[in-house]
Structure formats: C-alpha cells, structure tokens
Amino acid sequence: MSKKLKAILLILAFTLVVPLSVPATAQDTETQWCAGKQIRFFVGGAEGDAFASIVLRGAQAAQADLGPDVDYIFSGWDPDRMVQQLREAIAAQPDGIAMMGHPGDGAILPLAEEASAAGIAMMYQNVDVPEVRANFGGGYVGANLIPQGRALAEEAIRQFDLQSGDTAIVFGPWDQPGRFIREDATADTLEEAGFNVVRVNALPEWAADPNLALPSLTAAYLSNPETKLIVYPGGQMLGAVPVYMDALGVAAGDVFNIGFDTSPAIMEGFDSGFVQLTSDQQPFLQGYAPILSLCGTLVYGFGPLNLDTGAGFVNTSNYQNVAELARAGLR
C-alpha cells in the first residue's frame, strides 16, 4: 500500500467510533484482520467500464489489505438489475453487502429491511440513499451529489465567462428518479443563471458503449447549433467527447465540454483541447472505503463510515497533476 493511501486510511480510522464493549485484541495488529468475513460488493458498471474498473481496483486493494472474501457483482449501471442482484445477495447470507444506490430509496428500502432482519451489514456507494440509511443503517461513500452538481455549473460559468441566454445541453438519467439528482442540480443552477437548458436522457447502456449516445447528441446539437456548453453524466461519455465533436464537425474549444470523473480517455480529451472541466469523485475510494467500513463493523463493531469523496475540479490548468494516476486506472 502506498504511503499516501496509508495516510488517508489513518485519517478515516480516526472518524470511527469504538464501542466501549469491544475489547482490544492481538488481532488489532494483524495485517488481514478481516479474514473469513464474506462480503458482496456492487461494482456498478460492466467489467472494463472506465469508472467501474477504478471502483473495482479500490475494492480489490481493500480485499488484499484486509483479507475478506469478496464476491464482485457487475450490473451495467442498470437499476432494475441491481435490485434483483441485491435480492440474490441477501438470500446468499453474506456478512456484509456494499451496494450501489442507483435504484433509489423506494426500491432498496424493503430489501434493506430484509438485510437488517438477517443481520447483514450494509454500506452504500456512489449514489446516496438517505431514507434507507435513516431507517436501517449503513454508511455512504461517494460525492455529495447535489452540491457537486451545483458546483460544476457554477465553476463552468466562472471559468468560461458564460452569459445568461447561452444554451447548454445537459445529459442525465432523467427517467431514473433519485438517480439524476446530481445532473438535475447542474441543470437547475444553469437555468437559475438564465441559461436555455436542453435536457437529454442518458441511458445506462451508454456507459458500456459511449458511442451509442452519438445519435441523441447529434439530434440535440443540430436542433440547438448555438450551444455553448455540453454537460455529460459520467466519465464514459466525457472520455468520448473527441469522437463526438469530430462527428459533429466541431473544433476543439468551440463548445465547452464538461462533466464528472477522471479516466485515461478524459486525460486525452484534455490533451486534445476537447474537454475543459470535470468534477472528480475519486472512485478508488468508493471501492476501498466501503469494504474498510464493513470490516470495521463486522470485526470491531465500529459505526459505518460516511465519506464525501468529491475532490474538487480538474481543468486545463491542473489536469497534468492527476494524469499519471488517471492513466494508471487509479484516479
């Protein structure tokens, strides 16, 4: 484990509350103190997905460091599939489950109740489910989505000197209640600033193949050729921006392309001048910290971690600071 990661984990450890009834043991100093615990971990996307692969690396690092047995579940960012997989995970009776929150409070709530009754510890990552956690416990590791969405819009307006009356295309999963709160916050902030916002629905399968989004993007742009800003809902689409702009015949810098996450493809987008701004949510931590938290709960009775992984903005002036880690699939 790197010194930097050890320092992060030390900080996280001090945020945990140790119940007085839990005695210190020799196990405290063992390197794999979570050995023997069974965990099911939801990666979110498909195998090889740009974002999900970083989450997976973080989770695998935690497994290697702490020693639990982990089953990894890939869902292709499909909320319905996640619900069915969660039902199956609970039936398998693991010690803990780290669940993506994309299906939302309503869909997860009855299953969280079932998991609680079965004594299964729960954690949630990437998308928060506050009602579920308020009723049945569990922590959240991921960006604080509404502030993150608003901040991205505010930063774009500030950096690019955009004006009231400008047109922005905002992609978001508008057909998934509870899932689009980040993109909705971005769109609302732009509208409050006087922008003409065109909302385009983003489909889960676009994460596995971003080229599938091209027809929808083309239709939206050709209907609004005055567009100054395009906002993408994830790193998969943002990484495909050079392909999109080339297909539209748009030169680098003629349209500002912004969104969320970092990846090797997004770094190439910065290099080529097609990508100008992204909000980093550190998916490696969204893999590592839920397993760390579950192990702490299962072995020592620690309370669950709640960690905002939002790390601020990456733009044309600072992207080289994270480019090496992004290209290594760690950032």
Give yes or no for a contact between 176 and 149, defined as CB atoms under 8 angstroms apart. no
CA distances from 250 to 35, 68, 91, 302, 315 (A): 53, 49, 51, 53, 20
pLDDT digits (tens, 9 = 90+) for 117-167: 999 999 999 999 999 999 999 999 999 999 999 999 999 999 998 999 999
The CATH class of 145-279 is alpha beta
Distance of CA 156 to the CA centre of its chain: 20
pLDDT digits (tens, 9 = 90+) for 97-128: 999 999 999 999 999 999 999 999 999 999 99
d(CA 328, CA 2): 14
* Average pLDDT score, the chain: 91
Does residue 284 register a pLDDT over 60? yes
Confidence (pLDDT) at 234? 86
Q: Residue 61 corresponds to which amino acid? A: A
Q: How confident is the model at residue 30 (pLDDT cuts 50, 70, 90)?
A: low
Percent of the chain with pLDDT over 70: 91
Which residue from 275, 277, 282 is spatially nearest to 325, judged by alpha carbons?
282
CATH of domain 3-143+281-312: 3.40.50.2300
Domain extents for the chain?
A: 3-143+281-312, 145-279
3-143+281-312 shares its CATH topology with 145-279: yes
Query: 166: which 2 tokens?
Result: 């400008």
DSSP 8-state class, residue 273:
T
pLDDT digits (tens, 9 = 90+) for 11-21: 444 444 333 33
Q: Residue 209 corresponds to which amino acid? A: D
Give yes or no for a contact between 182 and 142, defined as CB atoms under 8 angstroms apart. no
